[in-house]
Structure 1
């Protein structure tokens, strides 16, 4: 991608990535996890701040925090970079993601829309819709449509 990105550190399976957001509020550790869903072909992308939960005595991802570190676009480009890396290793897998709020889902739609030409060179992008029965269906992505989430598939080369 043509945008600034943070260095990513990943596990050997390429399913977990860490990086540090650096900005006006200091260094904040971020985590991206690709986890299997009920469907073998679809992985969920989870992203957020790495927080120590004192009650559970373990680290967890908090995807609801607004850190306002002044580096939103770098963070989005870094998350996109992780999708490139994950799908390079697992080209047959689809990646599903959505925001933790409607506002974040709209932000992701705008980011995809702004970078659609570049992203479309490598990926097929779908909008995810939830029907009245709670099932998710996919439709070709359109910049001006609202979606429940997004599904990304690496193009076969």
Structure 2
């Protein structure tokens, strides 16, 4: 993504967890990105939020630290790192709210050309009977997203 990102990212040796600090007018907030295996061993869920004192993640907090694009670029960098280590795994992500999922869709749309160079991108819609996965299309609403590193 063509945005500044936080450079001081610490990652676990297995590239399943990354931490960085959001800095802005409302202070400093520890952020964490976690990749956890789903019931499908080929798909990992991307979890993101504020790291709480007890080690849990709160994905509903709004810090309003005016660094949204920098945070999104940093999260994207962790996806690049994760899929570099695990190129055969796909990453699923969705916002904790419809508004955040829409934000992710807009970020993908604005950076689609760059992302398409490295990833296969899919939109996911979930209904009562099934999940429908399709190639990501601009202007479509999705319940979540799936990305997989293109193998070169």
Report the TM-score range of the alignment, normalised by the length of the smaller protein: over 0.9
Which position in structure 1 is the counterpart of 2:74?
78
Determine if the alignment matches structure 1 residue 155 to structure 2 residue 139.
no
Aligned residues: 151
Give unmatched runs, 5+ long, in structure 1: 53-57
Q: 1:3 — aligned with what?
A: 3
Question: Given the alignment of the two structures, is residue 105 of structure 1 paired with residue 101 of structure 2, yes or no?
Answer: yes
1:2 is displaced (CA, Å) by: 2.7
CA drift at 1:156: 0.8
Equivalent position SS for 1:100: coil
Q: How does 1:2-41 map to 2 (within 5 A)?
A: 2-7=2-7, 8-41=9-42
In the aligned structure 2, how far is the partner of 1:83 from the partner of 1:94? 10
Shift of residue 114 of structure 1? 0.2
Q: Deviations over 1:26-64 (max 9, x none)?
A: 111000000000001000000000112xxxxx2210000
Secondary structure of the residue that 1:113 maps to in structure 2?
helix
RMSD: 0.8
In structure 1, which of residues 131, 135, 138 is the aligned counterpart of residue 133 of structure 2?
A: 138
Q: Deviations over 1:78-133 (max 9, x none)?
A: 00000000000000000000000000000000000000000000001000111322
Cα deviation for residue 138 of structure 1 reads 1.0
Moved over 6 A (4+): none
* CA–CA distance in structure 1, aligned partners of residues 66 and 31 of structure 2: 14
1:55 alignment counterpart? none
Which segments of 5 or more consecutive residues in structure 2 lack a partner in the other structure?
none
How far did residue 143 of structure 1 move? Answer: 1.5
